[in-house]
Structure 1
Amino acid sequence: MSPHDPGSPAAELLPEPARKWIRPIAGGDGTGTTVVCLPHAGGSAGVFSAWADHLPSGLRVLGVQYPGRADRRDEPMPDDLPDLAQQIAFSLQWLDGPYTLLGHSMGAVLAYETCRKLAGLGIAGPDHLVVSASPPPDHPAAAGHDETSTDVSELPASVTGDDTAREHFEEVIAQDLRLLRGYETSNEPIEPPLTCLHNAEDPDMDQDIALGWQKFTTSAFHSAELPGGHFALFRDPASTWAALGREVGLRA
């Protein structure tokens, strides 16, 4: 059984109400620092397993599993992004202790909206929000642009070698992008400090675009440029975690 499965021993360390949405990815038992990660359009919680060998000792990574993929393949996606964010917010209330929320690409906009939902529900939110490879919420459709142009060679063999799997993958991306295109932000700032990571070779991001996130927090804001392209977060985990340690203080 994969450690990412909701019935795995690692998953059983999570409170039962959280297991539908939250998957253990790597790291400790929850007594140290926790990072909860939201994947990009078309992605599943398992994409963050690329970090497993690069985490500071004692740090725990959890991934949010959206409906319609992996072990939730047969579940329908919510009709809009705020509804998805609210369901994620309900699951996060069951986590023990403080955590950092991190979203990549589409997951960045969703993480911001999740923070808004947590505040609206009166649930304690994250200590810090980290957004990666995403324009700010007032340009949400742009947050999935690179997923639509993903080169076939970049997809796993399990997808490219199976017509049914590839068709499902394309359907998942399409439904995720519909949520982004239909999303309208309130422009309401959140309370947690916010850090935006962007990559030097990502054609849809630069320093000016990253600075557009600043108005979405009432607390401290930082941005940092990392090497690589849109998916360097996973392909260069060493640089990613060096930046997270330096910019956000994510250490065990």
Structure 2
Amino acid sequence: MNTALDSPLRTLTVANGTAPPGPRYVCFPPAGGTATMFRSLAAARPTAHMLAVQYPARADRLDAQLPDNFEELARQCADALVATPELERPRTVLIGFSMGAWLALETALQLDWRYGCGPCGLVVVGATAPHRRGTRHRLPAEADLDRMLDDGGWGESVLREYVRGLLRADMRLVSRYTGPARHGTPCRVAALCGEDDPRHVEDDATGAWAVWSQSPFASCVVRGGHLGLLTPERAGEFWRWMDRLALPSAVVEGEVDACVQR
């Protein structure tokens, strides 16, 4: 992949040059998703420097081929991050939703292993910790895809079948993913999950991520379901959680009243 010609990164907002230097946020979509899924989050924090990953074979990257394995996709993301000068990795926070959480984790590890400098923070939302996935690597049935589309708010949208195809391709990629070879990242990790998301109860999509984090680790259970924090009406709530998690700086004592720190 030539990152200069086909970078997967899409700029959503650019920080005001007069504002104090803050984190650079890079968002990773869920399966079947595109970079535009984060427009509401960007609109709710216009002063932030925010980018999103555009996966291959969709939107403006229709001619790019989805790789055969998760690790290669993470390598492409890591290469693009390194090739983007304004993304100083000591100030970069990766944010991944669902499948995007695993890809953000793999990208953080690739940055550390291959370039010696990982991000300063990783936020995972609605995702089972990789070591808790067990052997359940089956491809989803059509009924499962329908449920995922409903959870994503696609309903009877005219784009539903297009998104179904993207979702099926991404889930095929996920089905081959067995997780990183070792625990731990070069950065702090924070995990969020909706109280109505089955992953919260069945797979512990919050506290189980502690083994991947440098201290302090924080996890929060928020209201709603799987991708609820991506809806426009909850974008402000997402950023309030981000402020409470206080990435990349240490968690401020007393600020994370609804979070568990370890």
For normalisation by structure 1, the TM-score amounts to 0.81
Q: Which residue of 1 aligns with 2:259?
A: none
Question: For 1:199-237, what per-residue CA distance to the aligned partner results, in whole angstroms no more than 9, with x for missing partners?
Answer: 112122249441111111243211011111111121111
What SS does the corresponding residue of 1:113 show, helix, strand or coil? helix
Q: Which residue of 1 aligns with 2:29?
A: 39
Cα root mean square deviation, aligned: 2.7
Percent identity, please. 30
Question: For 1:15-40, what per-residue CA distance to the aligned partner results, in whole angstroms no more than 9, with x for missing partners?
Answer: x8386211011242575431000000
Q: Which residue of 2 aligns with 1:62?
A: 51
Q: Which residue of 2 aligns with 1:200?
A: 195
Letter matched to residue 208 of structure 2: G
- 2:145 and 2:116 map into 1 onto residues whose CA distance is 32
What 5-or-longer segments of structure 2 have no aligned partner?
Answer: 250-262
How far off its partner does 1:152 sit?
8.7
Contact 1:148-1:173 within 8 A present in 2 as well: no
Letter matched to residue 84 of structure 1: L
User: Quick one: structure 1 residues 155 and 75, their matched pair in 2 at CA, closer, same or farther if it must change by over 3 Å?
Assistant: same
What SS does the corresponding residue of 1:204 show, helix, strand or coil? helix
What 5-or-longer segments of structure 1 have no aligned partner?
Answer: 1-15
- 1:85 and 1:101 map into 2 onto residues whose CA distance is 12
- Does 2:4 align with 1:17? yes
Of stretches 103-112 and 146-155 in structure 1, the one that deviates more from structure 2 is: 146-155
Of stretches 230-239 and 200-209 in structure 1, the one that deviates more from structure 2 is: 200-209
Q: Which residue of 2 aligns with 1:187?
A: 182
User: Quick one: structure 1 residues 167 and 205, their matched pair in 2 at CA, closer, same or farther if it must change by over 3 Å?
Assistant: same
Q: How many pairs are equivalent?
A: 229
Of stretches 30-39 and 237-246 in structure 1, the one that deviates more from structure 2 is: 30-39
- 2:248 and 2:187 map into 1 onto residues whose CA distance is 15
- 1:22 and 1:226 map into 2 onto residues whose CA distance is 28
- 2:67 and 2:8 map into 1 onto residues whose CA distance is 13
Letter matched to residue 92 of structure 2: Y
Question: For 1:18-65, what per-residue CA distance to the aligned partner results, in whole angstroms no more than 9, with x for missing partners?
Answer: 86211011242575431000000000011000113321x631110011
- Does 2:228 align with 1:232? yes
Q: Which residue of 1 aligns with 2:171?
A: 177
